[in-house]
Amino acid sequence: MTFSFRVPPRKALAAAALAVAGLFTASVPQALAEKPQKLVVGLLPGESAPTVMRLNEPLRTYLEKKLGLPVELVVGANYAATGEALRFGRIDIAYLGPVTYILRSRASKLEPFARPSHAVVGPTFEAVIIVPKDSPAQSLKDLKGTEIAFGDPASTSGTWVPRWQLLDAGLASGRDYTLRVLGAHDAVALAVAGKKVTAGGLSKPIYDRLIKEGKISPDQVRVLAVSPPIPEYMWTFREGLDPAFKEEIRKAFISVDDPEALKVFRAEAFIPAVDSDVDRVRIWIDAIKNTNPDAIPPVQ
């Protein structure tokens, strides 16, 4: 590049250093602890973005009133996009599944602070593997040699836990079945209902709601296997958020008593969350990684 004016060598070096510093700081998490003008909340695209936004609108309204500032909901293009937006400070908090949280935490200091707790089962949920109603399969072993659908590659109940269930039954992806990525829980359920795949893995709460809403019919599909209890999703702070504001947000979640705000989470309340809450999922991830070393993307 040529310039129409001359820069003394020392000043040129200083300018270059500032330019490089600017490029670097643009790519790291926000480090300054200052209260934002609005709270930006990141959500995972477990279903279509309009559905996710609609279901979470009562919580957005509650937080806006409780915190006294605008609250914006943002649904990522995929699970990784939501995790990366939190990592780089483009959103302030995010509702992350255990796997997304674990993978993103390798490259950034994320802090979980709340998770939903349910009647009877507490802060856990389940995944299911479903098949068409007339499928001859009676156990997971019967799915050997077939094509099985999953949601987002980073989805806990839409990919990782069903993969672990199959692995526990002796079936490894790529060796014993073909893994087909469809991106969302509802897409998996519809693919199984339409017999486009032999089976599919997805969240049991979402499966139950799809049945209740008539999106799929019990005449089309049935549950072949239910997973062990999975640690619930966690609301997570980005790095560098103002400590006083974090405490306001934490208190707002732990004190939620609006039934509509809790409804989408099927929760009685939000309870405190810490990193060790998802240790069980780390064990399942390691089991899959030991069989499929390329299952986990490298840290970036």
Residues 98-145: pLDDT tens digits?
A: 999 999 998 889 999 999 999 999 999 999 999 999 999 999 999 999
- Secondary structure (DSSP) of the chain: ---SS---HHHHHHHHHHHHHHHHHTTS--------SSEEEEE--SS-HHHHHHHHHHHHHHHHHHHTS-EEEEE-SSHHHHHHHHHTTSSSEEEE-HHHHHHHHTTS--EEEEEEEBTTTBSEE-EEEEEETT----SGGGGTTSEEEEE-TT-IIIIIHHHHHHHHTT--BTTTBEEEEEESHHHHHHHHHTTSSSEEEEEHHHHHHHHHTTSS-TTTEEEEEEPPPEEPPEEEEPTT--HHHHHHHHHHHHT---HHHHHTTT-SEEE---GGGGHHHHHHHHHHHHH-GGGSPPP-
User: Percent of the chain at pLDDT above 90?
Assistant: 82
Pairing of strands 199-203, 147-151: parallel
pLDDT given at position 15: 39
pLDDT given at position 100: 93
Q: How confident is the model at residue 268 (pLDDT cuts 50, 70, 90)?
A: very high
Bridge partner list, 130:
200, 223
The pLDDT of residue 2 is above 90: no
**Helix 98-105 crosses helix 79-87 at what angle (to 10 degrees)?**
40
Rounded to the nearest integer, the mean pLDDT of the chain is: 89
The pLDDT of residue 22 is above 80: no
Q: How confident is the model at residue 298 (pLDDT cuts 50, 70, 90)?
A: low
Question: Exposed, middle or buried, 107 (CB in 10 Å: 0-12/13-18/19+)?
Answer: middle
Cα–Cα distance measured from residue 32 to residue 240, given in angstroms and rounded to the nearest whole number:
6
Nearest to 254 by CA among 73, 50, 115: 115
Q: What six digits make up the tokens of 285? A: 């991830």
- Secondary structure (DSSP) of 109-145: --EEEEEEEBTTTBSEE-EEEEEETT----SGGGGTT
Residues 158-207: pLDDT tens digits?
A: 999 999 999 999 999 999 999 999 999 999 999 999 999 999 999 999 99
Higher-pLDDT residue of 60, 8: 60
Single-letter amino acid code for the residue at 2: T
pLDDT given at position 279: 97
- Secondary structure (DSSP) of 139-180: SGGGGTTSEEEEE-TT-IIIIIHHHHHHHHTT--BTTTBEEE
pLDDT given at position 31: 42
Q: What six digits make up the tokens of 268? A: 């009685």
**Phi (first) and psi of residue 274, to 5 degrees:** -135, 165
pLDDT given at position 108: 87
pLDDT given at position 295: 86
pLDDT given at position 36: 86
Q: Among 27-41, 156-170, 197-211, 245-259, which is the least confidently predicted range?
A: 27-41
Q: Among 3-12, 68-77, 245-254, 287-296, which is the least confidently predicted range?
A: 3-12
pLDDT given at position 19: 38
Cα–Cα distance measured from residue 213 to residue 135, given in angstroms and rounded to the nearest whole number:
23
Q: How confident is the model at residue 294 (pLDDT cuts 50, 70, 90)?
A: confident
pLDDT given at position 27: 39
Q: How confident is the model at residue 44 (pLDDT cuts 50, 70, 90)?
A: very high
